[in-house]
Amino acid sequence: MHAYPVSLRSLSCAEAEALDRELASLRTPTGQGLVLDLSSVKFLSSTALSRFVVLDRELKARGGRLSLVNVRPSVRRVFGVTRLDALRDGCAA
Protein backbone atom coordinates (compact mmCIF):
# COMPACT_ATOMS: atom_id res chain seq x y z
CA MET A 1 0.00 0.00 0.00
CA HIS A 2 1.32 3.45 -0.91
CA ALA A 3 2.19 5.84 1.95
CA TYR A 4 0.96 9.39 1.39
CA PRO A 5 3.34 12.02 2.77
CA VAL A 6 1.90 14.69 5.05
CA SER A 7 3.63 17.82 3.77
CA LEU A 8 3.16 20.00 6.84
CA ARG A 9 6.12 20.15 9.26
CA SER A 10 4.10 21.46 12.18
CA LEU A 11 0.60 20.19 12.81
CA SER A 12 -0.58 22.88 15.20
CA CYS A 13 -3.97 24.56 15.57
CA ALA A 14 -2.91 27.12 12.96
CA GLU A 15 -2.42 24.37 10.36
CA ALA A 16 -5.65 22.51 11.15
CA GLU A 17 -7.46 23.69 8.02
CA ALA A 18 -4.52 22.82 5.79
CA LEU A 19 -4.35 19.37 7.39
CA ASP A 20 -8.10 18.91 6.85
CA ARG A 21 -7.69 19.75 3.15
CA GLU A 22 -4.77 17.36 2.82
CA LEU A 23 -6.64 14.52 4.54
CA ALA A 24 -9.85 15.17 2.58
CA SER A 25 -7.96 14.70 -0.68
CA LEU A 26 -6.86 11.23 0.48
CA ARG A 27 -10.23 9.60 1.16
CA THR A 28 -10.17 5.93 0.22
CA PRO A 29 -12.82 3.52 -1.05
CA THR A 30 -14.71 1.33 1.40
CA GLY A 31 -12.61 -1.47 2.88
CA GLN A 32 -9.28 0.17 2.15
CA GLY A 33 -6.86 1.57 4.66
CA LEU A 34 -4.80 4.70 4.50
CA VAL A 35 -1.08 4.99 5.21
CA LEU A 36 0.28 8.42 6.10
CA ASP A 37 4.01 9.18 6.09
CA LEU A 38 4.71 11.59 8.95
CA SER A 39 8.48 11.86 8.38
CA SER A 40 8.22 15.63 7.78
CA VAL A 41 6.10 16.28 10.88
CA LYS A 42 8.10 17.69 13.78
CA PHE A 43 5.21 18.88 15.97
CA LEU A 44 1.74 17.47 16.56
CA SER A 45 -0.91 19.41 18.50
CA SER A 46 -3.97 17.96 20.17
CA THR A 47 -6.05 19.48 17.35
CA ALA A 48 -4.12 17.54 14.72
CA LEU A 49 -4.19 14.44 16.87
CA SER A 50 -7.97 14.64 17.03
CA ARG A 51 -8.07 14.81 13.21
CA PHE A 52 -6.17 11.51 13.04
CA VAL A 53 -8.50 9.92 15.62
CA VAL A 54 -11.58 10.98 13.62
CA LEU A 55 -10.03 9.75 10.37
CA ASP A 56 -9.17 6.41 11.98
CA ARG A 57 -12.78 6.02 13.19
CA GLU A 58 -14.14 6.87 9.74
CA LEU A 59 -11.86 4.34 8.08
CA LYS A 60 -12.72 1.62 10.62
CA ALA A 61 -16.44 2.23 10.06
CA ARG A 62 -15.84 1.49 6.37
CA GLY A 63 -13.67 -1.58 7.00
CA GLY A 64 -10.32 0.16 6.68
CA ARG A 65 -7.59 1.33 9.01
CA LEU A 66 -5.26 4.29 9.46
CA SER A 67 -1.54 3.55 9.62
CA LEU A 68 1.10 6.15 10.38
CA VAL A 69 4.66 5.50 9.22
CA ASN A 70 8.02 7.21 9.74
CA VAL A 71 6.80 8.90 12.91
CA ARG A 72 9.48 10.90 14.71
CA PRO A 73 10.03 9.99 18.39
CA SER A 74 8.87 13.43 19.57
CA VAL A 75 5.59 13.02 17.70
CA ARG A 76 5.24 9.38 18.77
CA ARG A 77 5.40 10.47 22.43
CA VAL A 78 2.28 12.60 21.93
CA PHE A 79 0.26 9.43 21.37
CA GLY A 80 1.48 8.02 24.70
CA VAL A 81 1.00 11.23 26.67
CA THR A 82 -2.58 11.54 25.46
CA ARG A 83 -3.22 7.85 26.17
CA LEU A 84 -4.07 7.13 22.54
CA ASP A 85 -1.82 4.10 22.56
CA ALA A 86 -4.23 2.13 20.38
CA LEU A 87 -3.81 4.62 17.55
CA ARG A 88 -0.07 4.86 18.15
CA ASP A 89 0.24 1.09 18.07
CA GLY A 90 -0.99 1.28 14.49
CA CYS A 91 2.12 3.31 13.67
CA ALA A 92 5.06 1.72 11.98
CA ALA A 93 8.48 3.15 12.75
CATH of the domain at 69: 3.30.750.24
Q: Which domain holds residue 34?
A: 3-92
Banded model confidence at residue 90, pLDDT cuts 50, 70, 90: low
**Could you read off the pLDDT of 10-24 as tens digits, one per residue?**
777 777 788 888 888
Residue 83's SS3 state is coil
0.85 exceeded by pTM: no
Backbone angles phi, psi at 74, to 5 degrees: -65, -35
Cα 36 to Cα 67: distance, rounded to the nearest angstrom = 6
- In the predicted model, is pLDDT for residue 72 greater than 50? yes
Query: What is the mean predicted confidence (pLDDT) over 58-73?
Result: 87
What is the number of domains present in the chain? Answer: 1
Residues in the chain: 93
Cα 67 to Cα 83: distance, rounded to the nearest angstrom = 17
